[in-house]
Structure 1
Amino acid sequence: MLTPAAAIASVFRKYADFTGRAPRSEYWWFGLILWVVFVALSLLQLIPTGTDRNGYPSHNFELVFMLVAPIVAIGVLLPSLAVLVRRLHDANFSGWFALLALFPLVGAVVVLVFTLLPSNSAGARFDRQPSVPGLSFQGSGLH
């Protein structure tokens, strides 16, 4: 089981790596920390920073939220998808099952159940295969 810091480090080290597997702890710690970050950002906009010229409370952090939240969301989109695919691999499902989340309600529930399932040793089929010694495509025009 990974610690929260190790899970975050692992997810960002494999920023756009859709191969291999991710244990439940890596997936759920990352999800929890993302949730905490977005809740903290949304709470920032509620802090009154004074009053405007009409005497109403002004919330200047709303601008910060409107600028920072989308940047953070875009920045974590790819690693979020990658860790989801690796989590599905760990439960021995194809990463394409992540597309089920696009179906309202039912698809998201199915993906949630898949991510809650324990690791399956058959998921090793999604691990990176060792390269064959002596076989190289360099210089052949095939990359």
Structure 2
Amino acid sequence: MSSYTSEYPSDSDFDSEYKTFFEKFYETSDSPSAHEQYSEQFTQDATLIMPTKKVQGREEILSLRKGMWEKIVRRKHTALKVFPFGPNANEVMLYGTVQYSLKDGREATVDWAARAHLVKKDGTVMMDFYQVYLDTAAQNPSK
């Protein structure tokens, strides 16, 4: 079992390929050098909304992704629970935590939530929409 495995509602028939996608997505998200792999998990015209920025398209997602690692040495996402929207859903809400190790030596753990819309393009699962909600003040703990 992956350390990126999430909990799902017991009555959910959520697509196993989508479950695998999220495991790989957060593992890639936590890899400091996987910028291209991260951006390739989105469709060409995807929308990505972070607490402080909205980007459109894979190129802008790649640029945002690189910027997200400028002050971070390490991070570890834990997607605790995934809530699919109805039977055979391709839209979900997620809840989890992320632990950060910053380049200035500080550490932080932040709760987050997200909304994601999944699509299959030529048999490959990708997101065409992903919005993250978190307390940005909690990302910057005092020393």
Q: Which range, TM-score by smaller chain?
A: under 0.3
TM-score normalised per structure 2: 0.23
| Higher helix residue share | 1
* Structure in which a larger fraction of residues adopt strand: 2
Q: Calculate the TM-score normalised by the size of structure 1.
A: 0.23
